[in-house]
Amino acid sequence: MAISADRIIAIIAVAVAVASLCCCIYHTQSNDSDEEVDEYERISHCVKQIRECTDMVPEVAIVLGSGLSTVVDRVDVETVIPYSKIDGFPVSTVEGHKGNYVFGKIGGTDVVIMQGRVHYYEGYSTQDVVLPIRVMHELGADTIIITNAAGSLNYDFEPGTFMLITDHICAVDSPLIGPNIDELGDRFVGMMNVYDPALTQEIEDVAADFGIEMGEGVYVQYAGPQFETAAETKMFRLWGADAVGMSTVIEAIAAQHMGMRIAGISCITDMATGMSDVSPSHEEVEKMAKKMSSQLAQIIDELLSRYNLSEL
């Protein structure tokens, strides 16, 4: 019996569809399990290399934003590990951004400090960006203080003001997208009180004792690297944000996933676009951050000297 050309084409089309569906299912499944193993293995690989340089178990992790390096001067340094020496670690491509883990003591507390971070806008995935946070947790840190330089979306917060982050808005991809890393935390993570109210209050109290008034507000992270437009500023303000920047939120999400106690401090370095008649610039941000850096160092030093964070 002769089969018509139409039939042959139809049979081939069905066969191709079934084959590609099978391929797709197989590909997805194999990818899922590969990635799951790989990311945790990558974290463990970084931890192992660090453990060859130091056996310190940090209590507190600190992330320093651009221009905020002065905090490191307060550290009784034990070990410095450049990110570039850690195989598998993301390294910042931005001029002026340092890249070191600094291990040591501040006020008797064992700390690990990230002197510089990588940003999503550099082309790294959100998973890459949070790898250093995950590594610090795996080294032992259960508290994290995340700092940044930010643009003000609130006329009460002029450049030179500190803002304690009380909540955030994530306007970039979550770092938790993809297979869950079960060793670190649950698939679905609660996001209530991400920024620990007791720790936040302690920071505010310490600052007040130095005569430094800190505001409180919501921080929004967008991707960058371009500064926001005036229209975006308007939108962020309507969303309820008080400060804007290109970091912190995805790090806080990763830390929350692992159950860390989190505090966030924004150093307001400029007014966001459209809030004044000057456009934000990298130079201005760095200049103001450097100015604010010594006060930030003073606050963190006193916080870690005065309190036993594990008892908060």
**Which spans of this chain sit near ligand HPA (rule: CB under 6 A)?**
149-151, 227-228, 244-246, 269-270, 272, 280, 285
In whole angstroms, what is the distance from residue 217 CA to residue 154 CA? 9
For residues 145 and 153, what is the distance between their CA atoms, to the nearest angstrom? Answer: 22
Contact present, 244 and 233 (Cβ < 8 Å) = yes
Residue 162 CB, shortest distance to ligand HPA, in Å, is 14
Nearer to ligand HPA, 246 or 300 (CB): 246
- Min dist. Cβ of residue 239 to ligand HPA (A): 15
3-class secondary structure, 300: helix
Residue 66 CB, nearest approach to ligand HPA (Å): 8
Among left, alpha and beta (phi > 0; psi -120 to 50; other), residue 23 is alpha
Closer residue to ligand HPA (CB): 150 or 254: 150
- Find tokens 């001029």 and name the residue: 95
Q: How far is the CB of 270 from ligand HPA (least distance, A)?
A: 5
Integer Cα distance of 272 and 10 in angstroms: 59
Q: Which is nearer to ligand HPA, 205 or 284 (CB)?
A: 284
We find the least distance from the C-beta atom of residue 176 to ligand HPA, in angstroms, to be: 23
Task: Select from 225, 287, 251 the least CA-distant residue to 126.
Answer: 251
Q: Give whichever of 81 and 153 is closer to ligand HPA, judged by the CB atom.
A: 153
Task: Please state the closest distance from residue 168 (CB atom) to ligand HPA, in A.
Answer: 14
| 266: nearest Cα among 210, 214, 225 | 214
CB closer to ligand HPA, 18 vs 278: 278
Shortest spacing between CB 170 and ligand HPA, in angstroms: 15
**Residue number closest to ligand HPA, CB atom:** 151
**Residue 213 structure tokens:** 């008034």
Contact status, residue 101 vs residue 46, Cβ threshold 8 Å:
no
Look up residue 260 and give its two tokens: 């860390």
Closer residue to ligand HPA in complex, CB, 155/210: 155
Looking only at the bridges linking them, the beta strands covering 143-152 and 214-221 are: unpaired
83 with 93: CB under 8 angstroms? no
Q: Which is nearer to ligand HPA, 109 or 248 (CB)?
A: 248
H or E element at residue 109: strand 109-115
